[in-house]
Amino acid sequence: MTATPGDLCKTPPFARFLRLAQNLILKILNVFLRLNFLPSLNWNEIEHFSKVSPMNAKIAQLRRFGCPAARVFYLALLFLMPFQGPALGWDRPFNNAANWGGTGLMEIPTARILEDGILRTGYAEARPFRWVTIGAGVFPGLEFSGRLTEITNIPAFGPNSAYGANKDKAFDLKYQLLAESKYLPAVALGLHDFHGTALFEAQYLVFSRQIFPFDFTLGLGTKRLGGAGSLSLFDDTGLFGGIEWAVHKRLHFLAEYNPIKYEQDKGSARGVPEGADSPINLGLRFKVQPGMDLGLSYQRGDTFGFMAHLQVQLGKPLLPKKPDPPLWAPVDRRPFADRDARDMVDKIKIAVEEAGFKDVTVYTDGRNLTAEFENTRYLSNQKAAGRVLRILLYHSPEDTKQLIAILKRSQMSFLKISIEPLHLDQYLQNKISHEIFAELVRVESISGTQQAHPSDLVKTARIGKFDFQPGIKPSFEPYLNDPSGFFKFRAGIEPYVTATLWKGAAAHARYKIPFTSDVRSSFTPGPDAVRSDGWLYMGTEPTLEQLLFDQTFQLPKNTLGRFSFGYLEEMYAGAGGELLKFFGDGSLALGIEGDWVRKREPGTQLALLDFEGHTLLANAYFKLRNPDLTLQAQYGRFLAGDIGWRFQVSREYEYGLVLGGWYSFTDTDGFKEAFNRGYNDKGVFISVPARMFSNYESRTRYNYAMKPWSRDVAATVDHWSSLFGLGSDLTPAAFKSNLSRIKIEKVAVIESR
């Protein structure tokens, strides 16, 4: 007869050993718990930790046989797990901010990173340094952070300058080469202050290992993180390291070896010329609530520090949405022959309009049922199409071959989605998988020559009328790094209205009403300035920002054309045009655009100056899916006459928020002003969905941009709309990338005959 683990537990020598081991381990744990060296753990938590262990099957076997030694194994796991792998399989709860905004302890980085789609902003101070920071998990594994560092004891332009203390902008990148695994630590490679003045430049390779509740970090750094260059093989490379201890889920203790030699900082950043009294920094981090933490520290052996950070998921709505279930509706499945086709399409049109959509046309040829509409309600086109397809399904005769939803914009048809009623019903009822549904649904572009309807259609009547869409945008415009002051801004509101006049035609007006503006400059713009005189337009006077007409044309082979004229933006009036062709499934688009403009007179509503300018630019766009990434390249003549390249990259996150940035390379030798020559125009922008701040759905977006300073390099005309922005989200590739959103809502129907 084979012995079992339960039999083994009953043998006297082994039982005595288990009792001794259990008592010893419990005594050790009690000491740690009383000294608060370990967070309080109950047996459920210990059991949860053990699930990551390969010994879990053995313990479960012991428990099935009722062995009292199971607890010994659970307790021992707390000590064995450092050799088997981390207790937690992610960077949390140790992916917190350092002084300078990136993930780290106080002055040193760790191999932890912000999760994809998380935004963090904060403030920190350890005199004479102050940091205002922002960071984000921009891609899986990649963290980007930016910081403004103020050195409070070093004046920028003399002791009486309005600019105040010296300030420096810096950008940091960190890429996690390896996430922590069973046998390996997390490994990350990073760059500090890799562009511009590089006052705080550093490069590093860092390792972090979690032995819960501790997180250990050891790294190799160069430049500022290299210290005195303590490694014999690398003259400018040194070691740094530290530990973060989760004393409690709300309280962390920090200790680090900081290699920075402050006395070796560049002159304009040498706020601690005497150097640090001690390389050991100590701190506490208190988590006030999820996403918000405060920190206190003692740094450099003589300085107290403070930091506060807040992190949120990019674009996540701040308010819960109102319930938006599909309406309960009777389902009439009688065949086409037994139905009044006119009455049927009229009822469907009313239902689609009541769901919040505009420009609705419904028709049938006796086999298929089609609804054309413009999505003016949902940020997600997939959700809009899903709602309309459900309405068609509710009303469709039993012999319907295809349900068809056609998405329009500015009265132009762009995208056609077709599915058999049975397949849609099965998908909504979870009877077929998403993968099967993706094979059954047909998604295709509609070109300019494919929009004529057969003459035998039964169709709803279209009432011709102008469609007015008013709105108000909160306005915030920063003006940075002028010698008269580092940060200035203008804030207010921008009421606007857009009218769709006819197919592809729109009129748009926007008025800017500033509430406050402290924008001034000591800079005197030259006669050829195209953007460096932008501060002259940032006063407190209400201004007609835009008054324009825009006509878009659908041409054959997925090509669009656009012509615009009027007061195009706050600084320029004129005319412009654009051609753009989408290739394949819409992931690639190529085009050309040009503008001829005259500068507007600052402080007036409609007056123009004699200054003229023009642009001629070739455009290339490429969209990647998962993550949703858009790449743009422009080449040609910019507004000031410089010729070269402008590159832009943007990422759309789960809830619709878009982050992006741009960088230019142009021939600047023709500029007379020294600040323009050799300059690369750059900046970042954000597109915030209005639904983030409301409890209802909306397609409205608020767009904001920030750049170091207004210069004339790589300047373009700001357009109210672009062809890529008009059609890029209504391509087969864009629609299929989030096809599952069709099924966000549950079906609620009543059968009737």
| Cβ neighbours of 257 (radius 10 Å) | 21
Instruction: Please choose, from the candidates 108, 147, 152, 107, the residue with its C-alpha nearest in 3D space to the C-alpha of residue 131.
Output: 147
pLDDT digits (tens, 9 = 90+) for 387-425: 999 999 999 999 999 999 999 999 999 999 999 999 999
pLDDT exceeds cutoff 60 at 40: no
Q: Which residue has the higher pLDDT, 549 or 63?
A: 549
Strand order through the sheet with 412-419 = 442-445, 412-419, 402-409, 368-374, 358-364, 458-459
Burial class of residue 406 in the structure, from the number of CB atoms within 10 Å of its CB (0-12 exposed, 13-18 middle, 19+ buried): buried
Task: Provide the pLDDT for residue 626.
Answer: 82
β-pair partners for 205: 189, 220
What's CA 211's distance to the chain center, in Å?
Answer: 31
Percent of the chain with pLDDT over 90: 62
Task: Provide the pLDDT for residue 542.
Answer: 94
Lookup result for tokens 């953007």: 531
Instruction: Please choose, from the candidates 600, 558, 559, 548, the residue with its C-alpha nearest in 3D space to the C-alpha of residue 719.
Output: 548
Give the phi and the psi of residue 700 in degrees, each rounded to 5: -65, 140
Question: Could you write out the DSSP letters of every residue in 180-248?
Answer: --SSS-EEEEEEES-STT-TT-EEEEEEEEEETTEEEEEEEEEEGGGTTT-BTTBTTEEEEEEEEEEEE
Which tokens hold the place of 84?
A: 């088997």
Give the range among 55-64, 362-371, 561-570, 639-648 with minimum mean pLDDT: 55-64
Task: Provide the pLDDT for residue 86.
Answer: 35
pLDDT digits (tens, 9 = 90+) for 103-119: 999 999 999 999 999 99
192-196, 348-352, 515-519, 548-552, range with greatest mean pLDDT = 548-552
Task: Provide the pLDDT for residue 647.
Answer: 97
| Separation of alpha carbons 191 and 222, rounded Å | 10
pLDDT exceeds cutoff 60 at 88: no
pLDDT exceeds cutoff 50 at 69: no
Task: Provide the pLDDT for residue 90.
Answer: 74
Report the mean per-residue pLDDT for the chain. Answer: 84
User: Which amino acid, residue 388?
Assistant: V
